[in-house]
Structure 1
Amino acid sequence: MPETSLPVFIAPPLRLPVRTIGRRTFDFSRQVAVMAVVNRTPDSFFDQGRTFALDAAVQAAVDAAEAGADWVDIGGVPFAPGPELSAADELDRVLPVVQALAAVSDVVISVDTFRPEVAAAVIEAGAGVVNDTTGLHDPRLADVVADSGATLVVTHSLAAPRRPHPRPHYDDVAREVADLLARRVDVALAHGVREDQIIVDPGHDLNKTTVHTLELTRRLGEVTALGHPVLAAVSNKDFVGESLDRAKPDRLAGSLAAAVASVFLGARIVRMHDARAAVDAARMVEAILGWRRPVHAVHNVS
């Protein structure tokens, strides 16, 4: 296709845009990946246990892959504050889903965990990504990733795992988020994780108010300037609901708008609950940017 003149903010300068993650390869200089969400928890903030049963979780993961999701993120412990769940119990939740999905699909599998022992077990079972929403609260997680060759998502958050962080304060939210992410990436590198194994996530809503998250999204370029692919986990978050005055079941349109805006501001992975709608939005953005051809191009041709 002919080269297209595009505003520079659309293509963040990624140092290593081509990544092999799990069984798939991505070129994040011209590709948007959709990460679907499957929470095997009875108390997840959005689906409230809809996929807690093993068969429901496996089916949701398979359905997301068949809907075109590039990878599926499986969680056994919510980010929100709550009672302790043992590593054994967390593994009982996530490991069978990883095993079942890996057996039937080449979709990238990630597991949302902060525990090194859980990460090691799910990587052995076929997961290609460890999605740590605690920002390497336990640096031993980086050792597991370094030894495995899996991809590590380093997320900005402030609280210890499952602990509250009331009334978060930032003097300059985008700068502080970018600075902390840079420091945590340095920790990962010091533990042997390669740069081509790292993705960063600014942590929409995680220990942030809606006003913080909206400003962080507007200034996402300050996070993409770190040079790593950026994951935007915006789906059905409270910043969407509070911006629009919409309850959780009614946040799809706002979530898609936030995802598309994040892509135009530099994100290359979007974490979404409605895989089919998110895939359509991502592929449409790719078509508009000239990164992919239309499936059909016959309108007004004859």
Structure 2
Amino acid sequence: MTIDLFQPQVMGILNVTPDSFSDGGSFNSLDAALSQTEQMVADGASILDIGGESTRPGADAVAEAEELDRVIPVIEAIRSRFDIAISIDTIKARVMTEAVNAGANMINDVRALQEPGALQAAVAARVPVCLMHMQGSPRTMQQQPQYHQVETDVAEFLQQRADVCIAAGIPKQSIVLDPGFGFGKTLTHNLRLLAHVDDLTTLGYPVLIGLSRKSMFGKLLNRDVNERLAASLAGMMISLNQGAHIFRVHDVKEAADSLRLWQAVKEQKA
């Protein structure tokens, strides 16, 4: 399955974990995961991002075998039932390899292929990869993150990682960049990144934005995790207007509707 990475589209989040920050425990049975997949496909997702290890602040690491047990049956079941692109959200080389063998079409790595064997696994998998910026690790990333100039530092890191991937044999057209909102960033850092998404889009790679229900909206607006839809959509549209392409969301229907309206208006200006 070929994914048009430069086509604006919605990536639905499917966390098969007990402890993700927003939907942990909701879809970690096979039946629940398949039901949610069916709903997200109907609502307009073109990619599903499946993760078996939480990356919320303070999250504990998950053993490789346990992560495989969580994600592989779900990927196999979705691939046998639905015609939708599947992304595997993992930092582990073996999980990348097994997930692609099971039917995943993309690798989404919050560590930008820096873990042992990850780069080699991604090269061998021959699927698109998303490289995300994170300062520190999920356990430590919110402990006093600091930058010289956050938008420049993030763009330089992602360009460097993209260069490493290209040198290793991953085609440039198969590389997606993600600034990593909330991953080792303060509220001010996140807002500045959002104001400068075009610093990434001008690099010539597809850009993935993950703002859905983020804690930055809780801090800015004093909204609980399930009260952040309006802010999530606003952030999506701010990013879209700066040239971003893929939007990783929990609320697929609302995001897809927003994207359809944006596209319809854009067509009237053509």
Q: Normalised by the shorter chain, which TM-score bucket? A: over 0.9
Pick which of 57-66 and 106-115 moved more.
Answer: 57-66
What amino acid maps onto 1:55 in structure 2? D
State whether residues 134 and 158 of structure 1, in contact with CA within 8 Å, keep that contact through their aligned partners in structure 2: no
| Residue 67 (structure 1) shift | 1.5
Listed one character per residue, the Cα deviations across residues 76-97 of structure 1 (whole Å, up to 9, x for unaligned) are 0011333331111001101111
Counterpart secondary structure, 2:180: coil
**Mapped partners of 2:269, 2:108: distance in 1:** 28
Pair 1:173-2:133 in alignment: no
1:120 to 85, 91, 97: 97
Deviations 1:245-285 (A, max 9, x none): 11001011110111111110111000000111111111111
What is the letter of the counterpart of residue 194 of structure 1?
Answer: P
Task: Using the TM superposition, give the Cα deviation of residue 292 of structure 1 relative to its aligned residue in structure 2, in angstroms.
Answer: 11
Letter in 2 for 1:65: V
Bigger drift between 174-183 and 132-141 goes to 132-141
Q: Which residue of 1 aligns with 2:45?
A: 69
How does the TM-score come out when normalised to structure 1? 0.85
Q: Which runs of 5+ in 1 are unaligned?
A: 1-22, 294-302
Q: Tell me if structure 2 keeps the 8 A contact 1:34–1:275.
A: yes
Q: Which amino acid aligns with 1:50?
A: S
Contact 1:62 1:101 in 2 (8 A): no
Q: Which residue does the alignment assign to 1:236?
A: 213
Instruction: Tell me, in whole angstroms, the C-alpha distance in 1 between the residues paired with 2:147 and 2:54.
Output: 24
Which aligned pairs between 1:1-302 and structure 2 lie closer than 5 A?
Answer: 23-26=1-4, 28=6, 31-80=7-56, 81-138=58-115, 140-160=117-137, 162-165=138-141, 166-290=143-267
CA 1:126–1:292: 2 relative to 1, 3 Å: farther
1:289 is paired with a residue of what secondary structure? helix
Structure having the higher Rg = 1
Secondary structure of residue in 1 paired with 2:38: helix
- Stretch deviating more after TM superposition (140-149 or 275-284): 140-149
Deviation of 1:139 (Å): 5.6
Query: Compared with structure 1, are the counterparts of its residues 141 and 27 closer, same or farther at alpha carbon in structure 2 (3 Å cutoff)?
Result: closer
Between the aligned partners of 1:238 and 1:76, the Cα distance in structure 2 is: 21
Does the 8 Å contact 2:44/2:256 carry over to 1? yes
Name the TM-score, length of structure 2 as normaliser. Answer: 0.95
How well do the aligned residues superpose, as a CA RMSD in angstroms? 1.7
Would you say the 8 A contact 2:72–2:102 is kept in 1?
Answer: yes
1:289 to partner: Cα distance? 1.2
Task: Provide the secondary structure at the position in 2 that maps to 1:111.
Answer: strand
Query: 1 or 2, which has the higher helix percentage?
Result: 2
Deviations 1:24-79 (CA, angstroms, capped at 9, x unpaired): 44272xx3110000111111001131112222122212221122101100010011
CA distance in 2, matches of 1:33, 1:209: 27
- Is the 1:134–1:159 contact (alpha carbons within 8 Å) kept by the matching residues of 2? no
Tell me the CA shift for residue 144 of structure 1.
1.7
**Amino acid aligned to 2:211:** V
How many percent of aligned residue pairs carry the same amino acid?
35
Secondary structure at 2:11 match in 1 = strand
Instruction: Classify the secondary structure of the residue corresponding to 2:259.
Output: helix
Q: From the superposition, tell whether residues 200 and 187 of structure 1 become closer, same or farther in structure 2 (CA, over 3 Å).
A: same
Hey, what's the Cα distance between the residues in 2 that align with 1:274 and 1:291?
A: 27
1:112-148 CA-to-partner distances (Å, cap 9, x unmatched) read 0000100000101110111001122216222222222
CA distance in 2, matches of 1:69, 1:50: 19
1:127–1:248: structure 2 CA closer, same or farther, 3 Å change rule? Answer: same
1:286 and 1:292 in contact (8 A); partners too: no
Find the aligned partners of 1:271 and 1:170 in 2 and give their Cα distance. Answer: 25
Q: Which runs of 5+ in 2 are unaligned?
A: none
- Find the residue that maps to 2:267 and give its secondary structure: coil
